[in-house]
Structure 1
Amino acid sequence: MKTIAVSCGDINGIGLEILLKAHPLIASKVNLIYCVHFELLEQASELLQIPLPSDLTPSQCYAPSSPPPPILAGQITQESGRYSFESFILGCKLCENHQAQMLCTLPIHKQAWNLAGIPYLGHTQALSDRYKTEAIMMLGCEKMFVALFSDHIPLSKVSSLIQSKRIYDFLMRLYHLFPQEKYCILGVNPHCGDGGIIGEEDQEIQKAISQANQALQKCIFYGPYPSDCAFIPSKRKEFRVWVAMYHDVGLAPLKALYFDESINVSLGLPILRSSVDHGVAFDIAYQGKAQIESYLNAISFLK
């Protein structure tokens, strides 16, 4: 069986609830190393009134270097931010040392990381810096995956990145990392610019698509398609993977359709990492309401 390291995420959110609920469903299928103090799982079990699984033992827990902070349900704290980052880095090290083959991350809170002095906007940026290569952020499920040409940057900076060489390089990397028969490439302006009347960025996208197809000697990349009609039912029958030029234009339809199912995957790194595609859900933390389907899919993608 594969060994998967699981970082605990922000302990004030729903991460530990998901971990405890899902453990009985996956423990017989993969070897799990939880990057968390066992006593935190015991506390979460008590708070949630969820029995601690009998086969979940201290030997499966590798503790971060910091002492466990108190669980403060739904609160943004420096301590929980620091602890979630150390749990994540421990998971990376376990993969690097070949104690685990893959890493699954539970949700962190970006503001808590900021309070703790962590200089990253999230897991993907931290992974790209650690491994000195730009990870491709891809989210989705079996029915639909969306790869992001740009992810956690201000919208005001997107246009300057829309250059044919950059997009060509991205498309070729994506094809080799996640090969498909065809990809739907989204435009960036309304109506894909209407031939330059509403912006010229889409012409750069078209040039990159043509160059990539020429390099592959077959038509793999299609578009650019206007984003407002790229996810209509007929397109969802035709395509399985979309490429969005920026974050929300691709993820809004994905989450509207498959919020509970979708996962987050980092492509192009020395380690394989997947994650749930949702946040810490502080509003329902320790109320027993957390759904586990995204986490189960993230584990399934890895194994």
Structure 2
Amino acid sequence: MGDAAGVGPEIIMKALGDPAVYDICRPWVIGDAKILERAAGMVRANLQVHSVAAVSEARFQHGAVDCLDLDLLPADLPVGKVSARAGDAAYRYLAKAVELAKAGEIDAICTAPLNKEALHKGGHLYPGHTEILADLTATKDVSMMLSAPRLKVIHVTTHVGLLDAVKMINPERVYKVIRMAHDTLQKAGCPEPKIAVCGINPHAGENGLFGYGEEEEKIVPAVKRAQREGINAVGPLPADTLFFRATRGDFDIVVAMYHDQGHGPVKVLGLEAGVNITVGLPIIRTSVDHGTAFDIAGKGIADELSLKEAIRQAVELAPKRGT
């Protein structure tokens, strides 16, 4: 359910108000039933909330939102404000989802946004969802992939400062992210993914004119290694033109070196269209590509389209059960 003080509960109720969601999957919510009931009123959704104690009790019927009610928050939790209780609850909802996914009781996790300040105040010192999921699944190598209708981007580094990001970039990490991009797209039905790798400096260093040789030291060895293994990867390429080329279809995915290099182009295409996918985990996890939006929380106006797209992509990536 994400941070209950943000727009997560509202977009959940809006998304699950669409019967088309139930046509493609069996959705249910891990969170607080009373918060979802309040959100239904905020968005004027004609939906009931059906509290359950286990997956086996869920009905998966449109009109009654199944909720594994962890009962962590008061019904009058203030909206639009940073709350340590909400931050702790957001972590515990996710931890429960991971537990169920590892046990095979659910096929995929789709997360509503959390607030990093609230998360920290609640005692969980993580930069975000990606790092929590890596820790809870004991996964060493993960990456954040953003997927929009005309652009997919995977990140070498994410929630660190720019100076730290440059220090963290190394040939092994760049290679692993190229490999994760290749393997993920192959599993999604793209047999020979075309992968473009960003440079770090303007014009990808322009043969040493900009920077201190970071491209040659940190990126070129990784691209060459991937190519030797038969991966269709090219780079490092100048980021200022690369994303345009990717949107017109020259490449299937772009490897970005740091957070804003990759996030900016995707979000220019529209927050409602972007989906965040954690690559490298033993479980499937997708998410909206926006934050808790405290400024509009409680007003019932938050857009649910990113969540619906995240659900759709979770369904596509999830292992299929027999009918």
- Tell me the residue number matched to 2:58: none
Counterpart of 1:120? 126
Which residue of structure 1 lines up, in the alignment, with residue 47 of structure 2? 53
Match of 1:105 in 2: 111
1:259 aligns with 2:271: yes
Residue number in structure 2 paired with 1:22: 15
CA deviations on 1:84-104 (whole Å, 9 max, x unpaired) are 111111111121222211101
Q: Single out whichever of 267-276 and 190-199 deviates more from structure 2.
A: 190-199
Q: Which whole-Å deviations, capped at 9, do the CAs of 1:33-66 have from their partners, x for residues lacking one?
A: 21122222112223x1513415x42232112263
1:190 equivalent in alignment to 2:196:
no
Could you tell me how far 1:277 is from its partner in structure 2? 0.4
* 5+ residue gaps, structure 2: 53-65, 187-191, 316-323
Is the 2:32–2:72 Cα contact (8 Å) retained in structure 1?
no
How far does residue 235 in structure 1 lie from its aligned partner after superposition?
5.8
Q: 2:245 and 2:12 mapped to 1: Cα distance?
A: 35
Letter in 2 for 1:53: L
User: Does the 8 Å contact 2:31/2:71 carry over to 1?
Assistant: no
- Counterpart contact for 2:40–2:47, Cα < 8 Å: no
Quote the Cα distance in structure 1 between the aligned partners of 2:172 and 2:29: 41
- Find the aligned partners of 1:10 and 1:73 in 2 and give their Cα distance: 10
**1:115 to 1:234, Cα distance in 2 relative to 1, 3 A:** closer
Given the superposition, is the C-alpha separation of residues 289 and 67 from structure 1 closer, same or farther in structure 2, using an over 3 Å criterion?
closer
Distance 1:66 1:172, change over 3 A: same
Task: Give the 5 Å matches for 1:85-234.
Answer: 85-133=91-139, 134-179=141-186, 180-199=192-211, 200-203=213-216, 204-216=218-230, 220-232=232-244
RMSD: 1.8
Matched residues in 2 for 1:162 and 1:95: separation? 31
SS in structure 2 of the partner of residue 210 of structure 1: helix
1:249 and 2:243 equivalent?
no
Aligned residue type for 2:104 = H
**What is the CA–CA distance in structure 1 between the aligned matches of 2:101 and 2:84, rounded to whole Å?**
26
Seen in structure 2, the aligned counterparts of structure 1 residues 234 and 242 have a Cα distance that, compared at 3 Å, is closer
Relative to structure 1, is the Cα distance of residues 197 and 233 closer, same or farther in structure 2, using a 3 angstrom cutoff? closer
- Distance of 1:234 and 1:92 partners within structure 2: 33
Change (3 A) 1:49 1:157: closer
Cα 1:266–1:234 shift into 2, 3 Å: closer
The TM-score, its normalising length taken from structure 1, stands at 0.91
8 A contact 2:148–2:266 mirrored in 1:
no
Residue 32 of structure 1 aligns to which amino acid in structure 2?
P
1:84 aligns with 2:90: yes
Quickly say closer, same or farther: Cα 1:39–1:30, change in 2 above 3 A.
same
Aligned counterparts of 2:233 and 2:175: Cα–Cα separation in 1:
10
Amino acid at match of 1:272: I
In structure 1, the residue matched to 2:68 is 62
What are structure 1's unaligned runs of at least 5 residues? 1-7
Figure out how many residues of one structure are paired with residues of the other and give that number. 292
Q: Deviations over 1:206-250 (max 9, x none)?
A: 22212211121x6x1122111111122576331231110101011
Identity of aligned residues (%): 30
1:61 to 1:150, Cα distance in 2 relative to 1, 3 A: same
User: 1:49–1:231: structure 2 CA closer, same or farther, 3 Å change rule?
Assistant: closer
**SS across alignment from 1:229:** helix
Task: Compute the displacement of 1:270 (Å).
Answer: 1.3
**For each residue in 1:181-210, what CA deviation from the matched residue of structure 2 results, as whole angstroms up to 9, or x when unmatched?**
201111000111121232211113122212
Q: TM-score under structure 2 normalisation? A: 0.85
Alpha-carbon distance between aligned partners in 1 of 2:10 and 2:163, rounded to the nearest angstrom: 37
Between 28-37 and 84-93, report the one with greater CA deviation. Answer: 28-37
CA distance in 1, matches of 2:76, 2:88: 12
Q: CA deviation at 1:24?
A: 2.5
Whether the 8 Å CA contact 1:69–1:80 is kept in 2: the answer is no
CA–CA distance in structure 1, aligned partners of residues 208 and 292 of structure 2:
41
Separation in structure 1 between the aligned mates of residue 182 and residue 32 of structure 2, nearest angstrom:
39
- Output one character per residue of 1:160-186: Cα deviation in whole Å (capped at 9) or x when no partner: 223223322321233123335201111
Structure 1 residue 37 corresponds to structure 2 residue 49: no
Secondary structure of the structure 1 residue equivalent to 2:229 = helix
